[in-house]
Amino acid sequence: MRLLWLFAGLASVGFGVLGIFLPLLPTVPFLLLAAFCFARSSERLHGWLVTHPVLGPPIRDWERSGAISPRGKKMATLSMLAVFGLSVGMELRPTILAVQAAVLCASGLFIWTRPSA
């Protein structure tokens, strides 16, 4: 089972690092998932990830107080608006747009009600 957690953690770190460079791929959720997986598979990798100078601060903020940085909140909101704008531009059906709008609004509400780091 530890091997499965380790693989999931490594894959999550990979996706998280890709998210740094790809604007619509979320970085922090993948890093939080990686920290969760590493906590169950490798203390050494968990410690490395949490203390990493670039990747660690958002994880520590979340673990300490469930906080999201103001910059992170703004970037998440801009990404959600970009995705919704793309959907509108693709002329998706109104039903799909309504469901997407509801999910994005709920996600935005969750993000903006978290404390700031």
32 vs 26 pLDDT, higher one:
32
If pLDDT is split at 50, 70 and 90, which confidence band does 46 have?
very high
Cβ atoms of 15 and 30 within 8 Å: the answer is yes
Mean pLDDT to the nearest integer, 57-78:
91
If pLDDT is split at 50, 70 and 90, which confidence band does 33 have?
very high
